Structure 1
Amino acid sequence: MPNDTRPTIADVAQRAGVSKGLVSFALNGRAGVSPDTRERILAVAADMGWSPSLRARSLSVGRAFACGLVIGRSPDVIAADPFFPSFIAGVEDEFSVSGQVLVLAAATPGRHEAETYRGLAADRRVDGVILSDLRADDPRIGLVADLGIAAVTLGVPDVASGFTSVSVDDGAGIRLAVDHLADLGHTDIAHVAGPSAMLHGRHRTAAFERAAEARDIHARVVETDFSAADGARATDELLDADTPPTAIVYSNDNMAIAGLGRAQQRGLRVPDDLSITGFDDVEIGRHVHPALTSVATDARGWGAAAARALLAAIGGAAPEALTLPDPRLIVRASTSRPRGDVPDGAPPTP
């Protein structure tokens, strides 16, 4: 659309039946707009093809209209993990109608990561950041607070925080997987876990151990870096044991699919010889053979919720703890009763 016919805030306000001030508040993520009204204004703006003049807005309000997401993992792990593209798509769902730009960076945890945050905060290059992959006693909480920029955490930190948190109960999904396998008759279940330094990896492991204890399961845990390669390595370690488990609960789908491949390379039949569950319910897991039983999370919805919370924080909203709906277990063909465990009255499996 040519610049001289580009819809303005006044046009959006007229179409939405609200004041220009309310439209400005909604588009800038500021507090004082009800969720329903904000959604209506954003929908009208998107329908009209409204787009902001970032240069004019930056000069007028002293903001960068950019937010940062620094991912403290190796680029190889990020590239292979389907969570981040879905999460970023959710962030962009919100930012695309509010004129916000996402600045994405990968950094090695530690000094390099801290310098990345300092660089983003310098000269107000970003208005706020999303803190992902929270760690035990996470130093980034204090660092970002000292830098004076708004932030939202994915998960609840284990240290004092003045930022809004947006979290999902990871443990609920792991408990569902363990209970499902226990109900099928499995009594020897392993967990291929994420790094214990990451809070969500630690939470999932703790949930696995509690659920296994509650169901009188022989449990064992192998820690990984969340990569498919390390998931394959952990699977080999478990299957090389004198008494291998009859089921494995993986902490993400990439590792579960890698583990499924390793089991089949060894001549094992999934699920007859080994049941497997994943976490995240990525699309490819539905098309492997056998289709993967997995804990379904809404990464895109999580991204959108985090973006809305960050825009609200930038607008001056008070910090709060936001909890998203619990994950669900999607049962497919990669899980079954353990071989030799036949329910009463049923014929044995040939």
Structure 2
Amino acid sequence: MNGAGSGVGFSGAVGLVLARPARLLGIEPFFMEFIAGIEERLAERGLSVLLHVVAAQDAEIAAYRRWAERGLVEAVVVVNRTVDDRRLPVLRELGLPAVLVGTGAEGSDGGEGGRPAVPAVRTDDAGPVREALAHLLDLGHRRIARVSGPADLLHTRARTKALVEGCREVGIEPVIVEGDYSDEAGAGLTRTLLNGPEPPTAILYDNDVMAVAGLGAAKELGVAVPEQLSLIAWDDSTMCRLASPPLTTMSVDVHRYGVLVAESVLELVDGREVAERWSPTARCVPRGSTARCPVRSTT
């Protein structure tokens, strides 16, 4: 393939396909910050991001085939790894270089020594879940729920496993419901949880949009946050800080995450060995949406 600055035939683009409803891209801050970080670093080398939003993985694969046939991209960034992911075999078939994003141990893809066979910027999904759980347990919560992302995503499964194992270590079982990162899912699933026979005293969300929507749903039901219900978001966007009360969150430097991905892409297109990198670790930032568990709800 042509490396950056190789002259004739250099496409000047790195491909990124997001298989998700386009409307979510407009309301979820994560990918805008992530792409900004990638663009910032690539721009220093005259490269840009070719972004394509599709509805499903089949359409994503079709996009890769078009790009490879027309020589439109130097490499692709692959996000949101799934169970039985069909994209990597296709990329190998096409000879299209790729950097995986968010791949932990479960996504090592057969590399030697536990390292990915395809270059990756890896993520620790379990450690932050345990940190969030420890925060809630320290506050006395025992009825803990989680509104997750899609269950077929590898990082969703890693977070679920960490939460279930951590809860079992202290003799409790979490309630986990599956969302799709949208505000509708966040609000609807929060209502379902709070209207159940044993409503949780704490809810952990897999993104900020669902958490903010869940906060609104709790208010509509007359459930006071944090006096009756504690909430933790994931990804520390501006909307978390502007919420009332401000949301406790698992904060990630998403912009830095994008820069690290771009560093791996540049090494790849230059034909150099791609260093193993890990994304910035999510850290718990306590704010006004978490407090001690109500005494009456600790049984």
> What is the TM-score normalised by the length of structure 1?
0.78
Q: Which of residues 62, 66, 78 is equivalent to 1:119? A: 66
Query: Displacement of 1:106 after TM fit?
Result: 0.6
* Structure 2 counterpart of 1:234: 189
Equivalent residues of 2:267, 2:274 under 8 A apart: no
Query: Displacement of 1:111 after TM fit?
Result: 2.5
Equivalent residues of 1:293, 1:332 under 8 A apart: yes
Structure 1 unpaired stretches of 5+: 1-27, 30-56, 343-350
After superposition, the CA RMSD in angstroms is 1.7
* Structure 2 counterpart of 1:329: 284
Equivalent residues of 2:109, 2:118 under 8 A apart: no
Task: After TM superposition, list the pairs within 5 Å mapping 1:179-198 onto structure 2.
Answer: 179-198=134-153
Over residues 122-169 of structure 1, what are the superposed CA-to-partner deviations in whole Å (9 max), with x where a residue is unaligned? 231100000011111211111111111211001222533532110221
Q: Which of residues 35, 40, 52 is equivalent to 1:93? A: 40
Distance in structure 1 (CA, Å) of the matches to 2:266 and 2:289? 41
* Structure 1 counterpart of 2:171: 216
Task: After TM superposition, list the pairs within 5 Å mapping 1:220-299 onto structure 2.
Answer: 220-299=175-254
Quick one: which amino acid aligns to residue 88 of structure 2?
Answer: I
* Structure 2 counterpart of 1:159: 109
Distance in structure 1 (CA, Å) of the matches to 2:81 and 2:18? 10
Distance in structure 1 (CA, Å) of the matches to 2:204 and 2:131? 10
Structure 2 unpaired stretches of 5+: 111-115
Equivalent residues of 1:163, 1:320 under 8 A apart: no
Quick one: which amino acid aligns to residue 125 of structure 1?
Answer: L
* Structure 2 counterpart of 1:37: none
Quick one: which amino acid aligns to residue 114 of structure 1?
Answer: I
Distance in structure 2 (CA, Å) of the matches to 1:225 and 1:327? 20
Distance in structure 2 (CA, Å) of the matches to 1:61 and 1:307? 22
* Structure 1 counterpart of 2:113: none
User: Are 2:264 and 1:309 aligned?
Assistant: yes
Q: Secondary structure at the match of 1:335?
A: coil
Q: Secondary structure at the match of 1:185?
A: coil
Over residues 78-114 of structure 1, what are the superposed CA-to-partner deviations in whole Å (9 max), with x where a residue is unaligned? 2221100000110011111110021000112233221
Moved over 6 A (4+): none
Q: How many residue pairs were aligned?
A: 287
* Structure 2 counterpart of 1:140: 87
Quick one: which amino acid aligns to residue 119 of structure 1?
Answer: R
Distance in structure 2 (CA, Å) of the matches to 1:64 and 1:269? 54
Quick one: which amino acid aligns to residue 136 of structure 1?
Answer: V
Distance in structure 1 (CA, Å) of the matches to 2:281 and 2:169? 20
Percent identical across equivalent pairs? 35
Q: Secondary structure at the match of 2:44?
A: helix
Query: Displacement of 1:236 after TM fit?
Result: 1.2
Quick one: which amino acid aligns to residue 315 of structure 1?
Answer: D
Equivalent residues of 1:253, 1:282 under 8 A apart: yes
Q: Secondary structure at the match of 1:182?
A: helix
Query: Displacement of 1:231 after TM fit?
Result: 1.2
Distance in structure 1 (CA, Å) of the matches to 2:275 and 2:152? 25
Equivalent residues of 1:138, 1:159 under 8 A apart: no
